[in-house]
Structure 1
């Protein structure tokens, strides 16, 4: 048991030694000496606060260890037996050690209190330091507005004049001079009855307040403005401007204590807007008649205007999108047009591009084409390799209306390359141009036929010219009648392109029937 007591005493001695060392350093730690330099003051406060918090934790930890060791030491001393050698001396020593430990614990509690106070002082000093470091904001002096006697402007004038001049600690004579300089028109004439002196300054101020600071005068001014305001047109933009003006007047009347929820005022306000807005508001009023107010009326007006503005914006956007789409289509071709431009034909006879199967230069006869299609197992009806003619769903031949073969191998058609070559006379045919001056309508076709035939056959037969000139003069015998010539479409083209032979022209001449008022050419001559 004596050994246990000695061990407990050693632990108590070590813990009390640590606590005593910390307590000796407390007076130096809690001493606060802030720097005079504002740039380093904030950093000093921050670091000092951190050190004090650390000291507080160390004190609390050391005190707890001493208290625990003291309890163990006293318990070991209480367990000693009375027959222990030197029992009385041991008890005296235990009592002295316990008293020393208790004294250290009391000092530790006192030091903890001092540390808490120092931390609180630093916390209170931190906002002050930040405020001292922030430079004061220097606002520009407000210019004193001019007041000409309009009730509408009095409140603004007086608030600024009171802040800039009236509330300043300067002589009244200077304030009076500032006041006279700020007044114009009717207001200046109202103050001129007072002598410019310090004693008359307050009398001038009271006179101006009675004349222009009366709330009833401002209400009358607001009522007059409400009566005069109106929209320039029925356009939604002008209706919005009217709403903003009316809403501002109504809100100011409400701030001045005027009752705005009466039927006369509501009718006056509603009548200023367009008919669509009035209908919308009246429909809303029927649903909310029990809680109807002027503010609610104005809110419904605002909702209607906002909705119309949004609709107008959407319509304008759609119009702009349509214009942009048309511009893009006009500038750049559509994908469909591009596809048509790059589209190429592949001949299913020779499997080459640049020509259609009808004009294939390698397979020019029907027999060659049929043999090629059978040899390559192509559909005789469409030219595809994936089915037979009896399975084809593309329909019949467009020439003979029979099923089972393609129009390019039909017996009723002639291949493109079997056309007869043009004669030397046909190659020399000049291009017929229109006359520079427009001819009379009745003579145009007749002169065109005669001039064309004369130009192309003048080297072959001179007799043709005489007959055509005779035919041309037939029209001049009667200028009041019209010459009608009926030509078959194919024969008319052949007449110009293939230069009708002299025998054909002779046959044409025999078919002309001359009547007293017109020249008629029988259609049967070309059929």
Structure 2
């Protein structure tokens, strides 16, 4: 089935290169576009059916693998991963072509609507001209003072900018619509503000149209079809998911990867995408290191039923595991740091810190008793006997026979 889908994608590429022509007659152009719309719609429906079939086969293959014994899974793990990765890559490519086909169909519809609108506008203008000719001379056309006032106010507004990033379109258009597009001013004024607001690729899209008032709605629709379609935003998000990977093997880099994926998944979910399929969850899991994969799979096996394995569950398992591992690594880093041993005190501090003994002869503290110069050595014994001090150690009330 993957080969069939691959051939279908390859055959569709030339079709996507087709550009909408401008024929001499408006009705001829509309009829030509309607025929092309049928062709694009049929190809889109066929591709959608084949894509759904591939997805079902991949899910069935994965379920069959889960039913194998542990030994069988270990022996078939490599081929299992290879098949799912190939299926995921092919599904991603097919999704891209599918969205481009939808954009082509939407572009054709928009062009048909615009051509019909132009025809109707021209008919109204002709009707207005007839009424102007039939109006009595001298009758004035009432001016809109509120419109003039609004134009003065709008000149002081800061117009938001849009460079072509699809994720920013919703916010840009919400601001522009409120501040400019819904105000009671002429379409030409709105068109001018819109051209001031768009830059980069978006400016190129708007620049393809002639700067006339009738093209204002056409430019708005073109921007909406290119940037405001949920399918286009989903396509960009899936491409970003395919590119994202950890910047390194460390736990903190694995956590950063999880945060990046979580932001993508949240946006995909808000656009109605199912992020709970086993094919998608396995693709998420393969982006992490083998140790993290093993722990997450162990948690998955503890679930009562595989239907319980959702993005929310996988995110919780990965987050808890990585947070614990990060805390352990931080604790180990703290333990492995060398303790700061204070330097030994200087000799002078050690000396001043101890009490100094007093000379038994002159009571001075600047020298020891044996170094005393006040009492000569020949007179020291007489000094000790007179003061009833021990002849050996100099302590008072102490007998020589008790001195050790």
Structure ID, larger Rg = 1
- TM-score, L = length of structure 1: 0.38
